[in-house]
Structure 1
Amino acid sequence: MNSHWIPGNHFKLLENGEGYYPRVFEVIAAAEREVLLETFILFDDKVGRQLQQALLAAAGRGAEVHVLIDGWGSPDLPESFTQPLLDAGVRLRSFEPVQRLFGARINLLRRMHNKLVVVDGERAFVGGINYSEDHLTESHPQGKQDYAVEVEGPLVGQIQAFCRANVLAPQPTRGQWIQRWRADLEDDSSQGAEDNGAVAAFVTRDNHLHRTDIERHYRAAVRSAQRRVLIANAYFFPGYRLLRDLRRAARRGVQVDLVLQGHPDQPWVKRATELLYRHLLRAGVNIFEYNERPLHGKVAVVDDTWATVGSSNLDPTSLSLNLEANVVVRDVEFARHLRERIDHLMAESCERIQPTPTGQLHSAWIAVRSMVVFHLLRRFPVWAAKVTVREPRVVVMHSKTP
């Protein structure tokens, strides 16, 4: 796994756009030297324009500002939005720009799904929150429930090295990114770490050297669980090994609670996940559907000692295709706080799924159907990887001002 465990870190949980945007915009706007930002979605709406102003403030102060967006997730930024940034010296890049066929976006596979910010090498933000108005729960009817963390401490050096590797070359290959990042990590970014902070790791997945690192962290935590596993994840369709670990944990007496989408923004998500319900419920896993609005979080807590927050869903695209980034934290105070917030969600806005008795023939049909669909979806990333063998492109956006 590409994780370096580092002590002496401090984490602050930021919930939904209301908690995240004011803080991250404040830190960006106050930058003195450097802003590194990676995001899957950036829209030209109220939130996007607030980010634009924060970036312009940092650039106006003389900070070097780099922004990397995903071309599929952020396909329609107008010149009126990008030109002021380019004129101010902000370096804008697009990961694998969108391709269209009859107006539809067709290059969905292998996206840059990270949501990362590093400011002056002193503070970092990691999570699942994009820059769009639909992450504001109070002002948008479909405002997403989501989480991020603000990070202080030596772990920021790892995140900074990773982001720098992504943006310092105009069009690097993914292999070059990883080589640069690993070289930077050899500089011992843990020097000066204090013992009175959280032990944590920055964990990423890519399509080269670290295909399963995030999944392996989840599996290790579930296998070592003694009391409770609590997972809140928007798109839940993990592989056989993680499903097996969850079932085994429940059967040995661990309380395994899954918080999943009840009213998803994409209806097919719920239909796919429901194929796993019977298999999990029979092993004693508890399933809760969040029904207030779309759940977009990617968080988990084990035994109030281990926690993770990041961009990675537990589905084939995140675990097998997309570029993802999570933090994993070993700290009782942070893990307990995150667990309390998810428990509050469960108590106020979730419905527990109850096992439903079925006849023998009906039960057999469900089992066969679920098995076929499960293996088709799980094999999809392998087939897709064979089709999308070309290295992704990172395209520099240039100013059109003469």
Structure 2
Amino acid sequence: MLNRCHDTATSRVPGGCHMSLCSPWSLLRAASALSLALLLTCCTLTTIAPEMAYSNPTPVKIDGTHGPLSAERSKAILDRLKAGGVQTNIFDLHMAIEEAIVGSPLSLDNKVELLQDGPATYQSMFTAIDAARDHINMETYILDDDEVGQRFAAALIAKQRKGVQVNLIRDSVGTLKTPSEFFKRLTDAGIKVLEFNPVNPATAKAGWEVNQRDHRKLLIVDGHIAFLGGINISGVYSTGSLSQRSKDKKDKKDKPDDKLPWRDTDLRLEGSVVAELQKLFIETWEKQKGQPLAKRHYFPKIKPKGKEVVRAIGSSPDDPYSLIYATLISALHSAQTEILLTNAYFAPDQQFLAELKEAKARGVDVKLIVPSSTDSWLVFHAGRTRYTELLEAGVKIYERRGALLHVKTAVIDGVWSTVGSTNLDWRSFVHNQEVNAVVLGTEFGDKMRAVFAADQAKSDEITLDEWRHRSLKVRAMELFGRLWLYWL
């Protein structure tokens, strides 16, 4: 398994139960603490100070379809967004900080479509691929050789044969089970395929960093349309969580994990933000020393498509710190009324937890939806070690039933929303390439809040009293998961 870092084991078993030094529990804890201490220096998260003051703050930049807007026009747009939202200082506190941290511009005149689950997302992607006329750039973690993967391969090959240049970045670990013949079929058709950080060091062209993975899910068509979010290319998404088959018998809470429909959230974007996502794709291609890209119109002139203000944020292990992590921390710190988080792999660091607890202490309504079933047993149980301190702080935790939750979203104060590939765990924040979009404004925020409410209705709330009385078996799995979190 791949190495990863996590914080040290606590001195108490979650739930407040002290164990005697001679018990099996203490031996397990001692082994965990020793192993984690030996590895503690392997990677760290930079401490982000959201309240940091800048002596010369950089004005927030907004790009339109014809280039950067004036400072006056940018301020007017931000003032309009503020006026349309709830009473929150998220714009005053968050915007200047995010600008200093991220540096990429806010993009104006975008159209953002919220997509849920595999069937709807894939259909929208295939429609865009079929309409491609110049190029298709695709970046994915998993690309399975199954019915869905073969359908994508056929669609991409068909466009390549019609003169549309297709460039594909696939993660080496994520596609480890996909046979080489699958990709040979693509390259034989003229598609350029780049393997990100190959597991085999003999094939690595940009140095061998096998623990650094490309977890982004990104599809860009003709430089005009982009898709991003949590969805991989796999048959597990063939059934949507909103289908009738997932609605009987209390949402099939007891259905085996491998038979549950997958629940995910993605975005379809049009407008000036697509150029920022294109830059991220090309930057990765060049850093990984892929073949020279064929000359195409990767940055066409873009017309206004909508009214959404969006920022594209890419994170890379090569950065001094995770840009997405820093942005999330600043947004949490700026929250005034409400924090709604939905995440498939919830195992955050102490700084992230502290922001959630501090937000609750100042009166913010903090809610978290996590899976009740998972495809990553160790992360699932490691994340549950965080429940006690969050519940004691008043954070509300819900476990989604009837689906295998794979969503990575946040909505803050109803005006700041993000969708992307980033999990709330150390791998995403330290070792992975990730991509998220931040969308500002109440109109999109209302859509995100409605989706959150729908998932909450299909979830079971975890209460503090219930959690304190969980079994010793569950506690043991939590400790074991937390120990192995380093190597996931």
Give the shorter-chain TM-score range: 0.7 to 0.9
2:137 is equivalent to residue 39 of structure 1: no
Kindly provide the amino acid, as one letter, of the partner of residue 378 in structure 2.
W
Unaligned runs of 5+ in 1: 101-106, 173-188, 385-402
Structure 1: how far apart are the matches of 2:174 and 2:136?
21
Corresponding residue of 1:63: 164
C-alpha contact (below 8 Å) 2:408/2:422 kept by paired residues: yes
Aligned partner of 2:453 in structure 1 is 343
Q: CA deviation at 1:194?
A: 5.2
Would you say 1:48 and 2:157 are equivalent positions? no
**Percent sequence identity over matched residues?**
32
Query: How far off is 1:342 after superposition?
Result: 1.7
Distance apart, 1:169 and its partner CA:
6.9
> Are residue 122 (structure 1) and residue 224 (structure 2) matched?
yes
Q: 1:190, 1:278 → 2: CA distance? A: 51
Q: Which residue of 1 aligns with 2:119?
A: 18
Alignment of 1:321-360 (within 5 A): 321-347=431-457, 349-356=458-465
Alignment correspondent of 2:348: 238
Structure-2 residue corresponding to 1:8: 109
Contact 2:223 2:300 in 1 (8 A): no
- Deviation, 1:358, is 9.2
CA shift, 1:224, in A, is 1.6
Shift of residue 192 of structure 1?
A: 7.0
Structure 1 CA distance for aligned equivalents of residues 441 and 117 of structure 2: 22
Matched, 1:300 2:402: no
Aligned: 1:289 with 2:399: yes
Query: 2:300 and 2:431 mapped to 1: Cα distance?
Result: 30
Q: 2:271 aligns with which of 153, 163, 172?
A: 153
Q: Per the alignment, do residues 135 and 324 of structure 1 end up closer, same or farther by CA in structure 2, a change over 3 Å counting?
A: same
Shift in alpha-carbon separation, 1:227–1:377, aligned structure 2, 3 A: farther
Flag the 1:333–1:238 CA change in 2: closer, same or farther, 3 A.
same
Deviation, 1:10, is 1.3
**C-alpha distance in 1 between matches for 2:411 and 2:114:** 13
Structure 2 residue runs of 5 or longer lacking an equivalent are 1-100, 202-208, 246-257, 291-298
Query: 1:228 corresponds to which residue?
Result: 338
Cα deviation for residue 168 of structure 1 reads 4.8
> For residues 143-189 of structure 1, what are the alpha-carbon distances to aligned partners after superposition, in whole Å with 9 as ceiling and x for unaligned?
321111001000000111211222257626xxxxxxxxxxxxxxxx8
- TM-score, length-scaled by structure 1: 0.80
Distance 1:280 1:146, change over 3 A: same
**1: CA distance, partners of 2:305 / 2:131:** 29
Partner residue of 1:74?
175
The CA distance in 1 between the partners of 2:275 and 2:419, in whole Å, is 18
Tell me how far 1:338 sits from its aligned partner.
1.6
| Contact 1:7-1:193 at 8 Å conserved across structures | no
Checking the alignment, whether the CA contact within 8 Å between 2:166 and 2:191 is kept in structure 1 is yes
- Tell me if 1:269 matches 2:379: yes
Q: After the TM superposition, which residues 71-220 of structure 1 pair with which residues of structure 2 at under 5 Å, given as runs?
A: 71-99=172-200, 109-138=211-240, 141-168=259-286, 171=289, 197-220=307-330
Aligned residue identity for 1:355: L
- CA deviations on 1:342-398 (whole Å, 9 max, x unpaired) are 210111x20000002899xx9xxx9xx98x997x789x59xx9xxxxxxxxxxxxxx
The question of whether the paired residues in 2 share the 8 Å contact of 1:260 and 1:289 is answered with yes
Q: 1:272 and 1:350, CA in 2 relative to 1: closer, same or farther beyond 3 A?
A: same
- Worse overlay, 269-278 or 123-132: 269-278
1:318 partner letter: S
SS in 2 for 1:94: strand
Cα deviation, residue 98, structure 1: 3.1
For the residue of structure 1 that corresponds to 2:351, the secondary structure is helix
- Contact 1:137–1:145, Cα closer than 8 Å, also in 2: no
Flag the 1:357–1:197 CA change in 2: closer, same or farther, 3 A.
Answer: closer
Measure, in 1, the Cα distance between the counterparts of 2:260 and 2:199: 25
8 A contact 2:400–2:456 mirrored in 1? yes
8 A Cα contact 2:378 2:481, kept in partner: no
Q: How much does 1:118 deviate? A: 0.6
Distance 1:263 1:248, change over 3 A: same
* Dislocated runs of 4+, deviation >6 Å: 189-193
Instruction: Give the counterpart letter for 2:462 in structure 1.
Output: I
How far the C-alpha of 1:8 sits from its partner, in A, is 1.4
CA–CA distance in structure 1, aligned partners of residues 147 and 386 of structure 2: 38
Q: Distance in 2 between matches of 1:195 and 1:86?
A: 34
Distance 1:158 1:200 in 2: 10
Partner SS, residue 278 of structure 1:
helix
- 1:310 to 1:170, Cα distance in 2 relative to 1, 3 A: closer
Q: Which residue in the other structure is 1:29 paired with?
A: 130
Which structure has the greater CA radius of gyration? 2
* Partner Cα distance (2:419, 2:388) in 1: 27
Contact 1:145 1:294 in 2 (8 A): yes
Partner of 2:421: 311
The amino acid across from 1:121 in the alignment is G
Shift of 1:210: 5.0
Kindly state the Cα deviation for residue 250 of structure 1 after the two structures are TM-superposed.
Answer: 0.9
One-letter code aligned to 1:152:
E
1:41 deviation in Å? 0.1
1:184 corresponding residue in structure 2? none
Superposed CA RMSD: 3.0
